[in-house]
Amino acid sequence: MRRKLAAGNWKMNGRYADLTQIEALCAAHDGAEADLLICPPYTLVAAAAALCADHALNIGGQDCHPEAAGAHTGDVSAEMLQDAGASAVILGHSERRADHAETNERIHDKARAAYQAGLLAIICVGESLAEREAHSTLEIIGAQLSASIPDAATGENTVVAYEPCWAIGTGLTATPDQIGEVHDFIRARLEDRFGDRVGQSVRLLYGGSVKPENAAEIFAVSNVDGALVGGASLKTNDFSPIIRALEAEANPS
Ligand code: PGA
């Protein structure tokens, strides 16, 4: 059984005052029936991790450099994130691919750095609207999976997030059928490459305009093990119902 994961990506949002949201999440969800993660901007990682030290909520970064240290002004390494109290890092988000011209190969090298530092790598894949309209979604996702996931991936060190670019921050959500098709494809690709045991243990998240109103429907889709949530992770009042929907899926009663 794969343990469910609700991950929040704060992107370039959040100041010290917003740490109250982290405190509220900690208070509301200790003993959650799912893994919980918030990835705030670098400036808040250490403070957020300190607040979560005795709670179930984990803290992650939104990117890292492939090297552990060196002359790379403005970059942060996986080791530094780990040192600041992070246990995970998002890699290859479509905004990084677009804003920073990140290639699959570079994402692969960042994932290896994350493994080296003991961080869970959340590797993002997803097609653009033009690629979906050209019916090349699965081809694009297949190429992203092959080139960006290292051979050393396991269910313990890697999570794959499917985030169709056209659904991120747009309010448009992929339909359950669209999500199911891609998640089943990713699962099959992982099983082919890594064998059944590892292939079945890697968790697959959906991301793209997940909100309280659509979470339950998305979590019911096959091979959806949780969500990577942007906008709706900024406020506990929005993220908490998403977490509860995931718990309900994990433990129907
Ligand atoms: P969104 O972002 O939930 O605001 O669409 C998701 C993401 O980019 O991870």
pLDDT at 211: 96
Cα-to-centroid distance, 195 and ligand 1 (Å): 30
Q: What is the pTM of this model?
A: 0.97
Q: For ligand 1, atom 2, which residue shows the shortest CA distance?
A: 230
Residue position matching structure tokens 């090297």: 67
Is residue 50 within 8 A of residue 85, CB to CB? The reply is yes
Give the pLDDT confidence score for residue 15 in this predicted structure: 98
List the chain pLDDT tens, one digit each, 253 residues.
Answer: 899 999 999 999 999 999 999 999 999 999 999 999 999 999 999 999 999 999 999 999 999 999 999 999 999 999 999 999 999 999 999 999 999 999 999 999 999 999 999 999 999 999 999 999 999 999 999 999 999 999 999 999 999 999 999 999 888 889 999 999 999 999 999 999 999 999 999 999 999 999 999 999 999 999 999 999 999 999 999 999 999 999 999 988 7
Q: Atom of ligand 1 at shortest distance to CA of 94?
A: 8
Q: Which residues line ligand 1 (CB under 6 A)?
A: 9, 163, 168-169, 207-210, 228-232
* Distance of CA 12 from the midpoint of ligand 1 (Å): 12
Give the model's pLDDT for residue 173. 87
pLDDT tens for 148-161 read 999 999 999 999 99
pLDDT of residue 171: 83
Mutation pick for ligand 1 pocket among 63, 162, 168 (CB with most ligand atoms within 8 Å)? 168
Alpha carbon of 54 to ligand 1 centroid (Å): 28
Q: How many CB atoms lie within 10 A of CB 170?
A: 12
Distance CA 89, CA 135 (A): 30
- Provide CB contacts within 8 A for 213, sequence distance 6+: none
Helix axes 137-148, 104-116, angle to 10 degrees: 40
